[in-house]
Structure 1
Amino acid sequence: MKTINLSEQNSVMNLYLAELRDKDYQQNRLLFRNNLKRIGEIMAFEISKTFDYELKTVHTPLADAEMQLPEDKVVLATVLRAGLPFHEGFLHVFDHAGNAFVSAYRMYTNAEHTEVGVHTEYLVSPDVEGKTLIIVDPMLATGGSMAAAIQALLEIGTPKHLHIACVLAVPEGLDAIREILPENSTVWCAAIDEGMNDHKYIVPGFGDAGDLCFGEKL
């Protein structure tokens, strides 16, 4: 498993991430969702550099142009619900991608909300065999929901390459998915934070991505 931390590079992505973290900026859900989309677009562009390319001829009104075009067929998978704006950013770039959706979410298993389990109840996906599979989820905390999504999708077929894309990750989450990822897998992070608090939220993080995008849940 290869891990790429994009915050180690100086780019405008760091500004978008800083705004996502800002508690005052978070008061506007539209702005929060837009920054998740923009980070998705940038990350998709970075991932596209790893694809296989072939020389093809494009017929313009004036002459033929020889261009290097991607060979990879993309399936873009998202963990609901927080992943939806992030997914949209990727889809702006990979507009011909097939789309998969996984409902895998955390459930506290004790009264103190310090122990977390994962419940998976829904999966829809096109064929992933031989495709470039990109699974997106803004937060890689315990790694439980991402691990559930990975296992469910790999039961459908064997992708050519598997990319995991998240805005924030912590070492514990990276360790959790490392055990189940195929060797030809790459994890992309906008930043890797120091760890989690007692309630299994990323610190410093930016809070609950789903609530900040769509409102608090019951």
Structure 2
Amino acid sequence: MKVQEILKTNSIASKFISQLRDTGIQADRMRFRRNIERLGEIMAYELSKELHYEAKEVNTPLGKAEINLPKDELVICSILRAGLPLHQGILNYFDDAENSFISAYRHHPDNDEKFEILVEYLASPSLEGKTLVLADPMLATGRSFANVLKALEPMGKPAKIHLVSVIGSDEGVEYLKSEFPEDSKLWIATIDHELDNNGYIVPGLGDAGDLCYGNKLQH
């Protein structure tokens, strides 16, 4: 799996990441969601450079113009619920893509720091021969992405897989390299170096789902 870390090059994306991390700004949920959405747009643009294109002719008021347009069939799959604003950012640029939604959450069977990733809901079109874009803002251990990939297997084999995330950990990235095809690619804004004992990214930004939509009851 190849990795493209956006913040390795200076860009406006660093401003959005700074605001996502800032506890003084996080209380504004609308701004938090919008910043994730904007990062989704940035990474969708970068991802678009690796799609396949074909020449098309367009009629203008004064003649005809030839332009290269993407020809890949895309399916954007977001992991509920934190993935929704990231999904929307990607969809803003790939507006004719098909869409898939899946739930994946941390289940703590013994009410301690040990957890398993459970997948309970899936709605998806066929993935056979298409380009799959998996979106989840936080890449901590990497198990959510891996479990989602396994849950999607009955939907067909994609021709190409792209993963899109906002903040990840070194450990999570290394884990995905062993779980995803070699020609898949991870697009991520930035990578932190640590996970705490609960499997959360440090310094990270906290629980993206709660910051987007409010605190949830644990079960």
Query: Shorter-chain TM-score: which interval?
Result: over 0.9
- Give the equivalent residue in structure 1 for 2:8: 8
Q: Which residue of 1 aligns with 2:51?
A: 51
CA shift, 1:206, in A, is: 0.3
Under a length normalisation based on structure 1, what TM-score does the superposition of the two structures give?
0.97
Partner of 1:213: 212
Q: What residue is the counterpart of 2:173 in the other structure?
A: 174
Whether 1:70 and 2:70 are equivalent positions in the alignment is: yes
**Conservation of the 8 A alpha-carbon contact between 1:136 and 1:164:** yes
Residues 106 and 144 of structure 1 are in contact (CA less than 8 Å); yes or no, is this contact kept in structure 2?
A: no
3-state SS of the aligned residue for 1:188? Answer: strand
Measure how far apart 1:129 and its partner are: 1.0
Structure 2: unaligned runs, 5 residues or longer:
none
Across the aligned residues of Structure 1 and Structure 2, the Cα RMSD in angstroms comes to 1.0
Q: Distance in 2 between matches of 1:148 and 1:175?
A: 15
Kindly tell me the number of residue pairs found equivalent between the two proteins: 217
Alignment match, 2:202: 203
Aligned residues with identical type, % of pairs: 47
Q: Is the 8 A contact 1:105 1:119 kept in 2?
A: yes
Post-superposition shift, 1:142? 1.1
Please identify, of 186-195 and 148-157, the stretch whose mean Cα deviation from structure 2 is larger.
Answer: 148-157
How far apart, in 2, do the equivalents of 1:213 and 1:97 lie? 24
Please name the residue that 1:123 is paired with: 122
**1:1-218 alignment runs, 5 A limit:** 1-113=1-113, 115-218=114-217
| SS of residue in 2 equivalent to 1:179 | helix
Task: Work out the CA distance in 1 between the residues paired with 2:191 and 2:153.
Answer: 25
Runs of 4+ in structure 1 off by over 3 angstroms are 109-112
Distance 2:112 2:64 in 1: 66
TM-score, length of structure 2 as denominator length: 0.96
